[in-house]
Amino acid sequence: MSRKAGKKYSAAAAQVERRPYPLEEAIPLVQKIKFARFDETVEIHMRLGVDPKHADQMVRGTVVLPNGLGKEKRVLVIASGEKLKEAEEAGADFTGGEDAVARIQQGWLDFDAVIATPDMMRSVGKLGKVLGPRGLMPNPKTGTVTVDVARAVKEIKAGKVEFRVDKTGVIHAPVGKVSFNTDKLVENAQSLVQAVVKAKPAAAKGKYVRSATLCSSMGPGVDLDVTAFNTRIA
């Protein structure tokens, strides 16, 4: 049985016209119709013309949003020797080696991102079943397995977002908070879209960005005009 929408949600949805909005119009609308009492996250959801079942059509990448996410991320660096000091000086919240791996195995998960040096991946690999489902497993493709731990920490602290197409061909990603200045939210969203477009696999055929929706955490979706997204593809 479907759940009936609340009065506040229905009132917000009534202000959204049934048409695709340019990104520059959709963002101030989402800010206007938000009704939750907390500072909601603004999210973009993009349905792509890819089949994630095929490895050559997987879409995955990262982007550092120019205006951050409005949330401080707690970063754990798993390394050894001088790399631990580099991580601490760069602003890592937690650092450790085998001891950190052991703590996670015992149930510790009070962090939002994990960075590891290549030499520690033999141990970190044991955490796949714990970190993988939570999207926390370090990966070279997202820059979280690296010897340059200082740079990785600074990027995550600055608002680095990882995106990955799910099994239905959709990417879900945050672009900021509803309290952000509108221009800053637009800039963040444009950066995210550009990164997704740039990550188009060569094996993808036909229309790449098929549809997209913008919304706040609790608010109704606003359909986006994806024409401009697809014209950016070379």
Each domain of the chain, given as residue ranges in start order, spans 7-68+160-231, 75-157
- CATH number listed for the domain at residues 7-68+160-231: 3.30.190.20
Q: Is the pTM of this model over 0.85?
A: no
- pLDDT tens per residue across span 166-190: 999 999 999 999 999 999 999 999 9
The token duo for 163 is 């995106």
Average pLDDT over residues 64-72: 89
Residue in the structure block whose two tokens are 């960075």:
115
Average pLDDT over residues 8-23: 93
- pLDDT tens per residue across span 209-220: 999 999 999 999
20 or 206, higher pLDDT: 20
CB count within 10 Å of CB 85 equals: 13
Average pLDDT over residues 120-127: 95
| pLDDT at site 233 | 58
CB count within 10 Å of CB 182 equals: 14
C-alpha dihedral, 51 to 56 to 57 to 61, nearest 10° = 140
Beta strands in 79-194 (DSSP E): 94-96, 113-116, 160-164, 170-177
What distances in angstroms separate CA 132 from CA 87, 127, 194, one per listed residue?
22, 8, 26
| pLDDT at site 159 | 87
pLDDT > 90: percent of the chain: 82
Q: Round to whole Å and give the CA distance between 165 and 127.
A: 22
What distances in angstroms separate CA 89 from CA 72, 73, 76, 92, 94, one per listed residue?
17, 16, 13, 7, 11
Average pLDDT over residues 97-103: 96
Average pLDDT over residues 44-51: 96
Question: Is the confidence at residue 1, as pLDDT, over 60?
Answer: no
| pLDDT at site 177 | 95
Q: Round to whole Å and give the CA distance between 152 and 155.
A: 5
Q: Round to whole Å and give the CA distance between 178 and 191.
A: 17
Q: What is the Cβ-side half-sphere exposure of residue 4, based on CA atoms within 13 angstroms?
A: 2
Q: Residue 70 — pLDDT band, cuts 50, 70, 90?
A: confident
Domain 75-157 bears CATH identifier 3.40.50.300: no
| pLDDT at site 22 | 96
Question: Is the confidence at residue 31, as pLDDT, over 80?
Answer: yes
Instruction: Classify the C-alpha dihedral 192-195-200-206 as positive or negative.
Output: positive
Average pLDDT over residues 45-54: 94
C-alpha dihedral, 26 to 44 to 116 to 137, nearest 10° = 160
Question: Which string of DSSP letters, residue by residue, matches 180-219?
Answer: S-HHHHHHHHHHHHHHHHHT--TT--S-SEEEEEEEESSS
Mean pLDDT of the chain: 92
| pLDDT at site 4 | 63
CB count within 10 Å of CB 166 equals: 9
